[in-house]
């Protein structure tokens, strides 16, 4: 039997925590609220709340994170506090209010005995417009009609559970583009030309066009190039339905389709198609280049592993990884040699896709760097490569004078 004093203690401590939440909102030092240690039976995993300014006034914006989807609900402060209170001690056994100066923590033991304490803030709050502390929001807007036409969201603008990983991938891609553009010569341009080689089902192409036009206010002309005619047709029809006059799709491949290009994208272009896309971007003097390579057959078929390394790379899977590293490393070095600042990094987590390596390049580095040339030559010599495709396509022999 539960002692009535335990119930009273629970109510008092929970009320103290909720009052601390409302006080931080009123005093405008609130940063965020996080509920953890979920013990309910639903697939709800986490709740996070931030302060949000809407046309109707300020709200407590709560993101309910489920296993494969997010739901966002905006509440008036009192209403939101009541919603949080109902979850404490039942669905969630921990809650943390982060303010600009401290953190207020409510925790329940296994026997559902609560305690409340404060601690120093773990990190400084980041202030964003309007004088309030805001958590970083997703760049893409799931309520945009093109997501519905592409099957990512339902008629209410809610991301479909089976498409949630794809939606996150799109958002991450646009976040990367945002950072690259702001650090490039395109940051001040009001008109840019974009080519997306291997646009596929067009998710990223539409999101990129919408981001450039609606978010940045850039008059972008975006061309998606795709081999499959049915995807080209569906892409053009969706662009028509959305009124995206500056977005179009054509049938073709990177090596056969060229044009004016300030920003070039090629995600998961197979084997040498990535090299063909990079070649077209370099020839068009694109300011920003983004590729996510797929398959690495060309170098693997030509690689000659040095004798001292063969005991390691005699295993097929390790030789495959070596070919991947050599191919993408050499691609990045070529871009660096040609005057780009190139980076190779993980695009998204391996849990979503194994093809998660990305190469980005922004024009503006030192061109014709002899040190980089020497590095390329040494790598080719070490692994017995007469070429690695990109150098051949660009007509760069990389031979010492």
CA dihedral (357, 278, 396, 270) positive or negative = positive
Of 365, 323, 354, 330, residue with least CA distance to 344: 330
pLDDT digits (tens, 9 = 90+) for 137-148: 567 888 899 999
pLDDT of residue 278: 96
Give the pTM: 0.65
CA–CA separation, 74 vs 175, rounded Å? 24
Q: What is the pLDDT of residue 294?
A: 86
Ranges of the chain with pLDDT below 50: 1-6, 123-136, 349-354, 399-401
DSSP annotation of 136: P
Rounded to the nearest angstrom, the gap between the alpha carbon of residue 40 and the centroid of all alpha carbons in its chain is 30
Four-point Cα dihedral 333, 334, 339, 343, nearest 10: -40
- Tell the residue number behind the tokens 């024009």, with chain if given: 363
Q: How many CB atoms lie within 10 A of CB 295?
A: 16
CA distances in angstroms from 324 to 332, 389, 398, listed in the order given: 12, 13, 21
Domains of the chain: 4-133 (no CATH), 145-393 (3.40.50.150)
Tokens of 373: 């040339």
Q: Are 320 and 300 in contact (CB under 8 A)?
A: yes
CB 109 within 8 A of CB 51: no
Q: Rounded distance, CA 101 to CA 78, Å?
A: 23
d(CA 226, CA 212): 21
- Report how far residue 193's alpha carbon sits from residue 229's, in angstroms, rounded to the nearest whole number: 23
């Amino acid at each position: 039997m539960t002692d009535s004093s335990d119930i009273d203690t629970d109510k008092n401590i929970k009320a103290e925590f909720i009052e601390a939440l409302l006080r931080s909102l009123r005093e405008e030092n609130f940063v965020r609220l996080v509920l953890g240690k979920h013990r309910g039976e639903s697939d709800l995993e986490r709740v996070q709340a931030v302060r949000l300014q809407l046309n109707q006034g300020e709200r407590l914006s709560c993101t309910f994170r489920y296993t494969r989807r997010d739901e966002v609900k905006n509440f008036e402060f009192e209403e939101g506090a009541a919603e949080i209170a109902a979850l404490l001690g039942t669905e969630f056994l921990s809650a943390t209010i982060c303010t600009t100066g401290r953190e207020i923590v409510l925790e329940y033991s296994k026997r559902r005995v609560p305690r409340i304490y404060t601690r120093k803030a773990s990190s400084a709050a980041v202030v964003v417009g309007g004088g309030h502390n805001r958590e970083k929001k997703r760049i893409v807007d799931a309520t945009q009609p093109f997501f519905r036409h592409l099957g990512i969201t339902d008629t209410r603008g809610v991301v479909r559970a089976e498409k949630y990983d794809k939606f996150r991938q799109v958002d991450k891609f646009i976040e990367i583009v945002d950072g690259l553009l702001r650090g490039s010569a395109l940051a001040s341009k009001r008109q840019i030309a974009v080519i997306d080689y291997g646009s596929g089902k067009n998710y990223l192409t539409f999101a990129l066009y919408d981001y450039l036009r609606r978010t940045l206010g850039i008059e972008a002309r975006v061309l998606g190039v795709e081999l499959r005619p049915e995807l080209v047709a569906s892409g053009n029809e969706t662009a028509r339905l959305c009124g995206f006059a500056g977005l179009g799709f054509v049938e073709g491949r990177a090596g056969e389709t060229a044009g004016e290009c300030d920003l070039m994208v090629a995600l998961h272009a197979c084997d040498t198609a990535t090299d063909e896309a990079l070649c077209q971007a370099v020839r068009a003097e694109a300011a920003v280049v983004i590729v996510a390579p797929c398959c690495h057959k060309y170098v693997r078929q030509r690689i000659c592993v040095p004798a001292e390394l063969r005991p390691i790379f005699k295993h097929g899977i390790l030789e495959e990884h070596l070919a991947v590293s050599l191919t993408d490393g050499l691609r990045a070095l070529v871009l660096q040699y040609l005057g780009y600042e190139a980076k190779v990094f993980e695009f998204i987590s391996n849990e979503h896709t194994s093809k998660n390596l990305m190469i980005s390049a922004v024009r503006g580095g030192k061109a014709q760097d002899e040190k980089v040339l020497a590095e390329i030559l040494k790598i080719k010599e070490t692994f017995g490569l007469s070429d690695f495709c990109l150098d051949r396509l660009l007509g760069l022999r990389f031979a010492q004078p």
